[in-house]
Amino acid sequence: MPRRLFKVTPSRLSTWMDCPRRYRMTYLDRPAPPRGGAWAHSTLGAVVHNALRALFDLPPASRTPEQAARLVDKHWSGEGFRDDEQMALHRERARGWVSDYVTHTDVSDDPVGLERWVSTPTGRIVAEGRVDRIDERDGELVIIDYKTGRHALSVDDARSSQALALYALAARRTLRRPCRRVELHHLPTGEIAAWEHSEASLQRHLTRMEEAADDAALATDTLAAGGDPEQLFPPVPSGRCSYCDFRRSCAEGRDAAPEKQPWALLTP
């Protein structure tokens, strides 16, 4: 019998490659182990993404810096922040980020997709994911991913991003238009890191995705057949263990790095 295609998303692949044990706890264990609480930097990123999506749902004439800032207020959440003072500081920062973004970016054209789910089968996997924004320029699709992290981004970040490559491959299959350009829009600095993929560079990304997916699929099937979960999904202790959602269920992770507070990854 032909092997079923293994579905992968950028998050699923990166989880497997970072730590197979975390992959098992996230996607396979039922009931799943208890997770930690909300992280403030994730809350902040979600607010900004939601505000920008809502902005592009408005008519072009209404996509003003002031409206963008108001949409941050509308979608605000205080989960994960240390206290009201810290929350207010980052709320104001987020208002400034989206306001500046609209001031310095042409937002008059309607995107081809907002939070658009795209998917493509390959010979061995089904690659799929949700793209923040898809634009069209000169007859080609452009993948846009918003970033709110504290570190500036570079062209190498866009070039090496497996997630962006997956989105480009899936978008051109789903929307039936060429797609080679990918962009990271870093809201805190206003910088755009962009890369124009070739067929060869997309194929290299696809090959790495398929190889990682093969390993994950084999471990998953072997586990279902009665394999040892500790051997099939070993932990990979690293600094990431400081903020892993499953830290309380992983002794190796607790030993590898001290626990971070939920607001530790915010820009000071």
Q: Give just the sign of the alpha carbon dihedral 219, 224, 230, 235.
A: positive
- Those residues whose C-beta lies under 8 Å from the C-beta of residue 203, and which sit 6 or more positions away, are none
Residues of the chain with pLDDT > 70: what percent? 99
Between CA 14 and CA 166 the distance in angstroms is 12
Q: Is the pLDDT of residue 2 over 70?
A: no
Band (1; pLDDT cuts 50, 70, 90)? low
- In three-state secondary structure terms, 56 is helix
Residues 129 and 163 sit within 8 Å (Cβ to Cβ): yes
From residue 233, alpha-carbon distances to 7, 128, 180, 239 in Å are: 18, 23, 35, 18
Q: What is the pTM of this model?
A: 0.95
Architecture of domain 113-205: Alpha-Beta Complex (3.90)
What is the pLDDT averaged over residues 127-146?
A: 97
pLDDT tens per residue, range 189-228: 999 999 999 999 999 999 999 999 999 999 999 999 999 9
- Residue for token digits 């000169």? 138
Maximum pairwise Cα distance, the chain: 60
Residue 31 has pLDDT above 60, yes or no: yes
